[in-house]
Amino acid sequence: MLPALLAVLGGGLLTATLNVAGLRVGATPAEIMLWAALGVLFARVFSVGGLVLAVPVLLGGLELAMGSGGPSPPGEAGDPLTLAFPDERRLELAPLVFAAAYGAWAQRFELRTGVTYVALGAVLFASVARDGELPTATLLGLALLAPNLDRLGRLLQAH
């Protein structure tokens, strides 16, 4: 848990420094470290097998019920809830946090980590490339659950 706390502290300090200097896109790697570390901490605090199934299903269901809203509207410069990428592409923070949490859960509960990490990364990359047009929460849930379907029953029985 200490490495994740240190990553949060370091990422937060770097993000603040680069944002004050006006380097919004330059702050993105530090922000990724900050928010991904917070996702890992979330997974550590809520390390219950049933949540590995419940959280992705709940988030995906909510997203599908509400409809994914299409392309992201133009954001204000320095919007604290999005990551800025070149060509004015953005990624909201929630998908990054949950992708990190799902990856941490995959490792913690001995799921298929390699394929899960690749699938989670591909969903995040596609979300940035499509500028928020994808149902990212739903796809992240599928990236975690689909390669591990045969192992989910064990999680529900053990906890």
pLDDT bucket at 157, cuts 50 / 70 / 90 = confident
**For 67-108, where are the alpha helices, taking DSSP H only?**
93-108
Q: Answer yes or no: is pLDDT of 29 > 90.
A: no
User: Would you call 76 helix, strand, or coil by DSSP?
Assistant: coil
Q: What is the pLDDT of residue 19?
A: 75
Q: At what angle do helices 49-66 and 149-158 cross, to 10 degrees?
A: 120
Q: What is the pLDDT of residue 49?
A: 86
Q: What is the pLDDT of residue 101?
A: 97
Length reported for the chain: 159
pLDDT 10s digits, 35-88: 999 999 999 999 988 899 999 999 999 999 988 655 555 555 456 678 888 888
Q: What is the pLDDT of residue 48?
A: 87
**For 21-48, where are the alpha helices, taking DSSP H only?**
28-45
pLDDT 10s digits, 76-91: 545 667 888 888 888 8
Q: What is the pLDDT of residue 5?
A: 79
pTM summary value: 0.85
pLDDT 10s digits, 121-142: 999 999 999 987 899 999 999 9
